[in-house]
């Protein structure tokens, strides 16, 4: 008889249907792959990911890559800030894979300093980083509750937990989306739904290249990180699998910081 503490039991997502927004590249792609490797069917929703030196990848192409690894996956193009496209994406994933019981809301961006009009940038970041998460929760949580519960995971950021200069307004929106997770945990807990935020520090992705590939800035940031290095996407994805799996069944309303100790450094 297999022990209830066996890793394949504690961290299994077998039978789950997960929707990962922003799951084509970076942290989102790592989360989608990790959930699939743990047994979940994975829907990837969002726009084509990849900028700069990173090769653009569509949700469909990302899903195809997972299917070649034996993971049941489906990708759908959707601007998560567009209400109709977001609703269609949810409907498409459920039609192809079944009722969604796990959500990882990764889609997000920083627009700090992109335009001269700071408030326009702030409004767009709020629509992407906060409003789309609220709207997604409204779309999936009632069905999740009817099915007996599930997990709703919001990708927040270390920037939402401390003051910032370059990522000031991005940090405001990330503080807000972590609060969305806490609110969901309180409102929907009685229906068996767990909600948590995950706040990465500097992770080696396209998003963080301005830090990780700048010799001076990278030295400074690593010096402020007790572990002395940057994280990798798999280290964030591992926490997501934990929160989605039976091992995370009594964890809700939390903000899990994955930053190598940066936040607590003196």
The predicted-structure confidence for 22-31, as pLDDT tens digits, reads as follows 999 999 999 9
The yes-or-no verdict on residue 51 having pLDDT over 60 is: no
Model pTM score:
0.94
Question: Which pLDDT band holds residue 113 (cuts at 50, 70, 90)?
Answer: low
Percent of the chain at pLDDT above 90? 82
Is 170 a residue of the active site?
yes
The yes-or-no verdict on residue 87 having pLDDT over 80 is: yes
What tokens appear for 255 in the block?
């903000």
What tokens appear for 165 in the block?
């200069």
| Catalytic one of 11, 74, 152, 170 | 170
- pLDDT for 266 equals 80
- pLDDT for 8 equals 79
Cα separation, 247 vs 10, in Å, equals 5
- pLDDT for 118 equals 86
Q: What is the pLDDT of residues 133-175, one digit of tens each?
A: 999 999 999 999 999 999 999 999 999 999 988 889 999 999 9
- pLDDT for 55 equals 67
- pLDDT for 148 equals 97
- Name every residue whose Cβ is closer than 8 Å to that of residue 108 and which is 6 or more positions away in sequence: 22, 128, 129, 155, 173, 174, 177
Q: Are 23 and 57 in contact (CB under 8 A)?
A: no
**Mean pLDDT, range 80-96, rounded to an integer:** 97
- pLDDT for 228 equals 96
């Amino acid at each position: 008889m297999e022990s209830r503490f066996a890793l394949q039991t504690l961290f299994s997502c077998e039978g789950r249907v997960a929707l990962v927004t922003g799951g084509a590249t970076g942290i989102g792609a790592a989360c989608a792959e990790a959930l699939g490797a743990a047994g979940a069917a994975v829907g990837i929703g969002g726009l084509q990911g990849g900028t700069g030196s990173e090769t653009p990848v569509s949700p469909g192409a990302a899903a195809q890559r997972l299917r070649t690894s034996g993971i049941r996956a489906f990708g759908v193009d959707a601007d998560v800030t567009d209400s109709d496209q977001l609703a269609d994406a949810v409907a498409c994933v459920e039609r192809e894979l079944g009722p969604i019981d796990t959500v990882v809301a990764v889609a997000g961006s920083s627009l700090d300093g992109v335009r001269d009009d700071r408030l326009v940038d702030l409004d767009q970041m709020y629509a992407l980083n906060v409003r789309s998460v609220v709207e997604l929760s409204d779309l999936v949580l009632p069905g999740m509750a009817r099915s007996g519960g599930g997990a709703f995971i919001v990708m927040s950021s270390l920037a939402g937990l401390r003051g910032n200069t370059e990522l000031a307004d991005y940090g405001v929106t990330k503080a807000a989306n972590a609060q969305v997770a806490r609110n969901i945990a309180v409102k929907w807990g009685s229906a068996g739904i767990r909600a948590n935020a995950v706040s990465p520090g500097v992770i080696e992705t396209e998003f963080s290249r301005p830090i990780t590939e700048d010799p001076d800035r990278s030295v400074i940031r690593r010096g402020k990180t007790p572990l002395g290095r940057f994280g990798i996407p798999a280290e964030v994805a591992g926490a997501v699998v934990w929160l989605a799996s039976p091992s995370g069944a009594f964890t809700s309303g939390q903000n899990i910081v994955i930053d190598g100790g940066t936040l607590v450094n003196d």
